[in-house]
């Protein structure tokens, strides 16, 4: 009693071998119900997971979602083993605040959006760049470098 959320555990053992986001099954299916009423929920990571180097990506579970609830996870410290039955996330129920605002039915289609499509882009003619001077012994060369390209390695030749 007094807990705001309900713990959610993994149904399989998983080893995170890289820093990519992965989906873990929970065996929990929507719709989520509180007192017989379908409710939405926030899926949040437990603090104990974060202390072990596991990041749980928060998510919104719609009240009309009927598929399996999965946990999006990643780590900055591969190889990280997540044992089967690990309680790494929690569902925090939310009341339906907007009544009759949408005609969209979520069903079992997860990891999408019920609103208008959104596209995030950066115009190629205005990428964040800066001039960098590379010096080795007595030779220098100035190059234009792309900032935060997302690459793990930069190779110059």
For every residue of 112-144, DSSP letters joined together read: S-SSS-------GGG--EEEEEEEETTEEEEEE
pTM over 0.85? The answer is no
What is the per-residue pLDDT across 5-42, written as a single tens digit (0 to 9) for each?
999 999 999 999 999 999 999 999 999 998 999 999 99
What is the per-residue pLDDT across 61-99, written as a single tens digit (0 to 9) for each?
999 999 999 999 999 998 999 999 999 999 999 977 766
Rounded to an integer, what distance in angstroms lies between the CA atom of residue 26 and that of residue 21? Answer: 16
Among candidate residues 64, 76, 148, 152, the one labeled active-site is: 148
Q: Is 64 a catalytic residue?
A: no
Q: How many CA atoms lie within 13 A of 68 on its CB side?
A: 11
Phi, psi of 51 (to 5 degrees): -65, -20
CATH of region 6-94 = 2.70.40.10
The two structure tokens encoding residue 28? 């929990």
Domain ranges of the chain: 6-94
């Amino acid at each position: 009693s007094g807990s705001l959320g309900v713990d959610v555990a993994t149904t399989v053992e998983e080893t995170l071998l890289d820093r990519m986001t992965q989906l873990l099954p929970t065996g929990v299916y929507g719709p989520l119900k509180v007192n017989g009423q379908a409710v939405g929920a926030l899926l949040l990571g437990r603090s104990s997971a974060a202390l072990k180097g596991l990041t749980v990506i928060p998510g919104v579970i719609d009240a009309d979602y009927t598929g399996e609830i999965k946990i999006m996870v990643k780590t900055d410290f591969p190889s990280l083993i997540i044992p089967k039955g690990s309680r790494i996330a929690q569902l925090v129920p939310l009341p339906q605040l907007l009544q009759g605002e949408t005609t969209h039915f979520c069903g079992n289609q997860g990891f999408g959006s019920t609103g208008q499509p959104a596209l995030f882009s950066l115009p190629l003619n205005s990428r964040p760049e800066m001039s960098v001077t590379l010096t080795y012994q007595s030779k220098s060369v100035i190059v234009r470098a792309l900032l935060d390209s997302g690459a793990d390695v930069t190779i110059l030749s």
